[in-house]
Structure 1
């Protein structure tokens, strides 16, 4: 079972995400959260999927697209760091990605299918990393981070945004 990262393995601003991940087997948590995301978003109508809880906030569709894009980016980082690549990895502007994705032009079903594909790829990557890769350190967005921390950030980021959907959108 993969151990939780300690605070010197990631930038401090990721702590809230990591703290959201429950104790237990991370792969099992990711698999269970996949079903929870499906259940949460399948229950949202196309009409409700355009809802924004405040001006300037993302729609439900945009939020799910953001969760998916961020998981893709974080898993790319996880792959690179996990393979021992020391090349510094650039940051990204989440708002630019949401705007560029134009998820409001897609159906909820299509966005959800995309998330499922990405999550299944995440699970496969994590399942197949060698044990020695988890402690690897790399540089993302100018700061040091471990493979293990990235995996927990992926899980915590999704949990964070699903809580926002439940609290502010539904």
Structure 2
């Protein structure tokens, strides 16, 4: 498989990885934060959903426009002002899945030379479409690992709580 095919497959697989990483998570586990400046599983999923919405525009800008400006966004501000902590995780997962599928279908249909087209990201600088797609694939993979760590921290927290609970007569 070529590098492009490998990257497109990693990109496509992001929806599956995200869904698998959240399988069985419910209730307080979704909202548990492993530290004061850490995100909950719910917040991570909402962030990825919104990031994929941004990717919809960026992919199309690079594919269709000459060297477009790709505006950065502040994920922390979005999490606060878009109230990630109260959003429905099922809707965020479904939105991510639909957008990722649509993006993947578009990317598969583009000629290979489209992946060398560039845009200027306001923080990261000059990016090719291939760089953008690879970065989006890695972004999901990194957050899936974060979800796994958060869920492990939650299980440890619950285990410690159970160990400290008084014995029932």
TM-score (norm 2): 0.79
Bigger radius of gyration among the two: 2
Higher relative contact order (CA 8 A, sep 6+): 1
- Which residue does 2:138 correspond to in 1? 156
Tell me which residue corresponds to 1:167. 149
Q: CA deviation at 1:147?
A: 0.5
1:55 alignment partner in structure 2: 36
For structure 2, the residue ranges without an aligned partner over 5 or more in a row are: 153-169
The 10-residue stretch of structure 1 (115-124 or 157-166) with the greater mean CA deviation from structure 2: 115-124
* Counterpart in the other structure of 2:83: 102
TM-aligned CA deviation for residue 150 of structure 1 = 0.3
Flag structure 1 segments of 5+ consecutive residues without an equivalent. Answer: 5-23
Partner of 2:71: 90
Deviations 1:44-98 (A, max 9, x none): 1132101101013222111111112222223321211122332322211111111
Residues 124, 46 of structure 1: alpha-carbon distance in 2 compared, 3 angstrom cutoff: farther
1:21-32 equivalences in 2 (<5 Å): 25-32=6-13
How many residues are matched? 151
Task: Judge conservation of contact 2:119–2:126 (CA < 8 Å) in 1.
Answer: yes
Partner of 1:146: 128
Q: Distance in 1 between matches of 2:12 and 2:71?
A: 28
Superposed displacement of residue 2, structure 1: 5.6
Write out the 4+ residue segments of structure 1 that deviate beyond 6 Å after TM superposition: none
More helix by share: 2
C-alpha root-mean-square deviation of aligned residues, in Å?
Answer: 2.0
| Farther off after superposition, 24-33 or 94-103 | 24-33
Mean Cα deviation higher: 123-132 or 49-58: 123-132
